[in-house]
Amino acid sequence: MNKIALPELFASMQQQMSAQLSTNRAFIHHPGSKGDSLENAWIEWLRSYLPNRYSVDKAIIIDYLGNTSHQIDVVIYDNYFTPFIFTQNGFHYVPAEGVYAVFEVKPDIKGSVKGSGNYITYAGEKIESVRRLTRTSTSMINSGTPVARRPLTKILGGFLATTNTYSHKNNNTIKQHLEKLDGLKGIDLGCVVDYGSFYVDYNGEEDITEDDFSKRISDYYESRQFDDVNFSKAENSLITFFMQLTRYLQQAIGTIPAIDLQAYLNVIGEEIDQEL
Q: Give the pLDDT confidence score for residue 31 in this predicted structure.
A: 46
Is the pLDDT reported for residue 249 higher than 70? yes
Q: Say whether pLDDT at 217 is over 50.
A: yes
In a domain, 276, yes or no: no
Percent of the residues in the chain that have a pLDDT greater than 90, as a whole number: 58
Residue 93 has pLDDT above 60, yes or no: yes
User: What is the model's pTM?
Assistant: 0.91
User: Do the domain assignments include residue 71?
Assistant: yes
User: pLDDT digit string (tens) for 17-52?
Assistant: 777 777 655 554 544 455 678 888 899 899 988 999
Q: Of 5-14, 75-84, 141-150, 170-179, which range is least confident?
A: 5-14
**pLDDT at site 268:** 86
Is 26 a domain residue? Answer: no
In this structure, the number of other CB atoms found within 10 A of the CB of residue 93 comes to 15
Do the Cβ atoms of 177 and 112 come closer than 8 Å? no
Tell me which amino acid residue 157 is.
Answer: G
Pairing assessment for the beta strands 99-108 and 91-95 based on DSSP bridges: unpaired
Q: Is the pLDDT of residue 132 over 90?
A: yes
Catalytic residue annotation: 73, 104, 106
Handedness of CA 249, 251, 253, 258 (dihedral sign): positive
Residue 126 falls within a domain, yes or no?
yes
Residue 191 domain boundaries? 45-260
101 and 187 Cβ atoms separated by less than 8 Å: no
Number of structural domains the chain divides into = 1
* Polymer length in residues for the chain: 276
In this structure, how many other beta carbons lie within 10 angstroms of the beta carbon of residue 122?
A: 20
CA distance 101 to 87: 19
Residue 29 lies in a domain: no
204 in a domain, yes or no?
A: yes
Listing DSSP states for 59-119 in one string gives: EEEE-TTS-EEEEEEEEEEESSSS---EEETTEEEEEGGGEEEEEEEEEESS-EETTTEEH
Tell me which residue of 267, 215, 269, 233 sits closest to 65, measured CA to CA. Answer: 267
Q: Is residue 25 part of a domain?
A: no
**pLDDT confidence of residue 84:** 77
Give pLDDT, residue 230: 96
The mean pLDDT of the chain is 88
The reply to whether 30 falls in a domain is no
Distance CA 270, CA 264 (A): 9
Q: Are 104 and 160 in contact (CB under 8 A)?
A: yes
- pLDDT score of 261 more than 60: yes
Sheet with 54-62, edge to edge strand ranges: 86-88, 91-95, 54-62, 68-78, 99-108, 156-163, 189-192, 196-203, 225-231
The pLDDT tens digits for 44-75 are 899 988 999 999 999 999 999 999 999 999 99
Pick left, alpha or beta for residue 115 (phi over 0 → left; psi -120 to 50 → alpha; otherwise beta).
left
- Residue 90 is predicted with a pLDDT of 76
Interatomic CA distance for residues 175 and 118, integer angstroms:
13
